[in-house]
Structure 1
Amino acid sequence: MITIKITGAKELTENFRQLPLRAKDELTIALKAALRNIRDRARTEHKFTTRSGETERGIEFNQTGPLSGVVGVTTKIGAYLHEGTGIYGDKGRPIVITPRSRTALRWATGAGFAFSKRVVINGIKGDPFLYKAARKETPAIKARFSEAIRKAAKL
């Protein structure tokens, strides 16, 4: 999950009372554009293999306040892809799969079936696509907010 934080937001919020309503609207528009651009970049520039597109559609943004917003994943799979699992995740140990109600695991192979009493999986390495997208969008976000402030100052 990405959180955009503007330094000096308290002072800016205090100054909002003195600025016209249009200045507040300019900064809100800039914030929504920044959140949308981070979301779009994260949807297109990830390294995981997509099958149904559900994970990409699960990357969403919300404006949480006048000058704050969040970009994050809403699917469980998206969180695993972003943070990693197994030895690459927060627990740092392999995933062991054992049968629950049978004596062995079974899965299809090209030549029939394979059997095993247990399977050890190291997990998947995380792809922090949200952080990368935010990092790449930072210069554009700064420029967008500078322009919005310039427009507000000219009013």
Structure 2
Amino acid sequence: MDIKYSFRDEEAVRALKQQFPDIFQRNMILAAKVSTRDVQKTARAKHRFRSRSGNLELAIDTDVQIASDGEVIGIVQINPNSPGGAYGPYVHDGTPPHIIRPRNKKWLRWPEGSGFRFAKMVKHPGTKPDQFIYEAGEANQQHINDIFNRYAGRAIKEAGL
């Protein structure tokens, strides 16, 4: 999902970008850091999955990168190397119906009532997606636009335009 922003004072931002690219880029990096942090906070707080360990919330990570053309890119994603990152994409994007088979034993076993139930395979119906990162981005879209405008105004003042 991409969030596009527009500046209130397009002319001043265009002049700033051409005459003072370092000041512009530094402020856009700061704006991207603040924006991604806010989306991360919202995604950690507002989701539909039941959190048992808190690992998936902690796996929501941010990064700011600079593209080859100088464009600043803010990223909010599930870190695959964190404890909750291994199953995060399945929660976020859902799963299709699939068959579960035992890996190391002959039977699957799960508790049922006062005993256990056994099966050689189970047809799992799949899970619905909980796209909490996308929803957090959409919920913060206007806030992100305001942040970028605030930092653009700050850069314009810093450059003396």
TM-score (normalised: structure 2):
0.76
Could you say which residue in structure 1 is the equivalent of 2:95?
85
Could you say which residue in structure 1 is the equivalent of 2:109?
106
Compute the displacement of 1:134 (Å): 0.5
Bigger Cα displacement from structure 2, 37-46 vs 63-72: 63-72
* Shift in CA distance, 99/149, structure 1 to aligned 2, threshold 3 Å: closer
Compute the displacement of 1:98 (Å): 2.9
**Contact map agreement 2:25 2:72 (CA 8 A) in 1:** no
**Contact map agreement 1:6 1:67 (CA 8 A) in 2:** no
- Please, which of 123, 130, 135 is the counterpart of residue 132 of structure 1? 135
Bigger Cα displacement from structure 2, 140-149 vs 101-110: 101-110
SS at the partner of 1:76? coil
Could you say which residue in structure 2 is the equivalent of 1:30?
31
Compute the displacement of 1:13 (Å): 9.2
5+ long unaligned stretches in structure 1: 87-93
Q: Does 1:69 align with 2:69?
A: no
Q: Does 1:55 align with 2:60?
A: no
5+ long unaligned stretches in structure 2: 7-12, 80-84
Q: Percent identity at matched positions?
A: 32
Encode CA deviations 1:108-149: one digit per residue, 9 max, x unaligned.
Answer: 223111122321111211101111010011101111111221
**Contact map agreement 1:3 1:69 (CA 8 A) in 2:** no
* Shift in CA distance, 100/73, structure 1 to aligned 2, threshold 3 Å: closer
SS at the partner of 1:51? coil
CA distance in 2: counterparts of 1:100 and 1:80, whole angstroms: 19
TM-score (normalised: structure 1):
0.79
Encode CA deviations 1:87-108: one digit per residue, 9 max, x unaligned.
Answer: xxxxxxx211234565533222
Could you say which residue in structure 2 is the equivalent of 1:117?
120
Bigger Cα displacement from structure 2, 54-63 vs 144-153: 144-153
